[in-house]
Structure 1
Amino acid sequence: MATVVLVHGLYHRPEHFAEVAERLRASGVEVAVPELHRGSLLADTAAVQAAVDALREPAILLGHSYGGSVITGVSGAGHLVYLAAFVPEAGESAAGLGGASSLLQEAIRPGPDGSTRLCPDLAAAALYGDCPPPLAARAVDLLRAQAPGCGRGVPERQSWKDTPSTYVVCARDRAVDPDLQRRMASRCTDVREWRTGHSPFVGQPRLVVGLLQELLASAFWRGERI
């Protein structure tokens, strides 16, 4: 059975991928959407590794934003998809690569326990600015607090060096600079560019589903070059 693992970014939840997951499952694809927020990049990576290890065959791993740092440290994938995501080299972290845009940084609000939250209005502009307002509002409502330090975590391995990969640049992104995305994309096997904001899985889920179905139908995800 074709399999896909969807890995969300900071402040997000598996529910943000609900529409993508539902459409994939309706087409016969097995989908796993692990919950992150385990307290560190190492713990988040272990959670996704466990999901990959539980599958019956190599999966496509899609990492969004910080989720790119997570999938970079996972072994055993058939193909990696970086969606406006970080692609760290040895010793690099998401924060070290450039981290959040000034708009997203402005949205961050510290909590008394060291965690942070996002200001709803600024989060909507940074993360979902090109999404229909009802979808953006629901996505903002789903956002949760983030433990400190995850974005500064450094992956223990760089899976993109030995696993075929596709990078999707989101050209209208207001959370992660598209030029930074293009630089990171040069580390990947294949590069696409969409005229979307940071979160096309919210506003244009068919784009994400279409890409994953294309890869599942190709030789790419089996580790072969086309």
Structure 2
Amino acid sequence: MSTVRNVMYASILTMSAAYSGAAIGADSPSGTAKPPSGGGAKTVVLVHGAFADGSSWSSVIPLLQAKGLKVVAVQNPLTSLSDDVQFAKRAIDAQSGPVILVGHSWGGTVISEAGTNDKVKALVYVAAFAPSSGQSTSDTGKGFPVAPGIATLQVDASGFASLPPDAVRQHFAQDVSPEQANLIATTQGLIRAASFDHKVSTAAWLSKPSWYIVAKNDHMIPPDQQRAMAKKINARTTELPASHVPMLSRPQDVANVIVSAAESIK
């Protein structure tokens, strides 16, 4: 994962928010990824969650590129909903063709706000929050038990939340290798805790077709909460036997759902 991460950072776009990685796929005859098909190519914009960064998509990116999709991974500052939405919007605005907007965890709240952009044609939620209009991330959990991982959150004097290393291994990414879990814990992106109370103005899923991946072994967002959100947004739903990070533990399955969303766009 560290090698992919180095490649990723070497390829960061001139926009401070976005990444377009080098192709590593194996679906084309030459064994390299299929190049995007020009200015109007479909683009997958990936929005990471809390306690993460754009490299959390490192295993999915080459799989999407191998299908001829352009891929951009946003680097969220995690300082507020508004700040993260602005970073996502910059990545969306930079594209000339239709956008498939994908959010993991907290990134689901971000895409619910940013996805109203006319360029966005489909939304994909990966073990993600899907707030309604006027609802916050915290609001989506009402009526559900506090997940074990959330109970371990630590908030520093500046108001930023993080996960202890043991919690990453046991509750955030319990189905990846110890080396990957260690890297996640070491490089995690701290999020301003107050962001979870920031409300979405108009939820994009009200007007955009949506897909949802439920992580059945998730210790950060209760699976039943995920199912309820998927039902609420009328999403085409896939359930995976995965932790909170299915894009790392089951990247092909996650890529398949994103590709399905992309193929639905005319």
TM-score by length of 1: 0.90
| Residue type of the alignment partner of 1:113 | S
Aligned residue in 1 for 2:139: 96
Q: Which stretches in structure 1 are left out of the alignment for 5+ residues?
A: none
1:35 is aligned to 75
Unaligned ranges ≥5, structure 2: 1-40
What per-residue deviation string (whole Å, max 9, x for no partner) do you get for residues 6-56 of structure 1?
A: 111112101111121133224432111111125210121111111111111
- Shifted more, 159-168 versus 143-152: the winner is 143-152
Q: Residues 51 and 31 from structure 1, CA distance in 2 versus in 1: closer, same or farther, beyond 3 angstroms?
A: same
Q: Runs ≥4 in structure 1, deviation > 3 angstroms? A: 99-102
Distance 2:201 2:135 in 1: 10
Deviations 1:155-209 (A, max 9, x none): 1211101000011111111110011111111123311111211101111211111
How far apart are the structure 1 equivalents of 2:250 and 2:213? 14
| Structure 2 CA distance for aligned equivalents of residues 121 and 31 of structure 1 | 32
**Contact 2:213–2:254 (CA under 8 A) maintained in structure 1:** no
Confirm whether residue 138 of structure 1 aligns to residue 178 of structure 2. Answer: no
Identity of aligned residues (%): 28
Q: Helix, strand or coil for the counterpart of 2:59?
A: helix
CA distance in 2, matches of 1:115, 1:189: 32
Of 175, 183, 196, which residue of structure 1 is paired with 2:242?
196
| Higher share of residues assigned helix | 1
Which residue does 2:56 correspond to in 1? 16
1:154 alignment counterpart: 199
Alignment of 1:115 onto 2:160: yes
CA contact 1:101–1:174 (8 Å) conserved in 2 = no
Q: Distance in 2 between matches of 1:70 and 1:145?
A: 16
Distance 2:137 2:183 in 1: 26
Count the aligned residue pairs: 220
Correspondence for 2:18: none
1:211 aligns with 2:257: yes
2:166 is the alignment partner of 1:166: no
The amino acid that maps onto 1:173 is: D
Asked whether the equivalents of residues 72 and 155 of structure 1 are also in contact (C-alpha less than 8 Å), the reply is yes
- Residue 81 in 1 paired to residue 121 in 2? no
1:48-101 per-residue CA deviation (whole Å, 9 max, x = no partner) reads: 111111111121111111111100112231100011111111221111111894
RMSD between superposed Cα atoms in Å: 1.8
| Larger RCO of the pair (alpha carbons < 8 Å, separation 6+) | 1
Q: CA deviation at 1:5?
A: 0.6
Q: Is 1:69–1:86's contact at 8 Å kept on the other side of the alignment?
A: yes
